[in-house]
Amino acid sequence: DGGITQSPKYLFRKEGQNVTLSCEQNLNHDAMYWYRQDPGQGLRLIYYSQIVNDFQKGDIAEGYSVSREKKESFPLTVTSAQKNPTAFYLCASSRDRGETQYFGPGTRLLVL
């Protein structure tokens, strides 16, 4: 089945620790995205990538980093510089940047 997978489902971070969230897609989509969702709020764009080895900051990129070494994969690292990392993180992909986006199941990050 084609789709987007995210792992893990739940992730716990200790103070001062970097953690990496995985996102993989087998839809052959060029564009991939990371969003953050907080309770009662809409989705906010963290980073996006239009093509392999290229990515751009979204609206709330501070404290986050990404890489796009393969078309299928777009991992997100939440660094220790992100002071309020507790949120639900959603990965999405689209055929290209201007097209309909499809979402993965999400990863919930909690701080210990």
Please tell me whether residue 43 binds another protein under the rule CB under 8 A. yes
Q: Which residues contact 49 (CB under 8 A, 6 or more apart)?
A: 31, 32, 33, 55, 56, 66, 68, 74
Q: Of 13-21, 38-46, 65-73, 78-86, which segment contacts another protein by CB under 8 A?
A: 38-46
Tokens of 11: 């992730």
> CA–CA separation, 63 vs 92, rounded Å?
20
Please tell me whether residue 108 binds another protein under the rule CB under 8 A. yes
Residue type, 40: G
Shortest separation between residue 14's beta carbon and another protein, angstroms? 23
Shortest separation between residue 2's beta carbon and another protein, angstroms? 14
The contact set with another protein (CB under 8 A) reads 4, 6, 31, 33, 40-43, 45, 48, 50, 58-59, 88, 90, 94, 96-106, 108
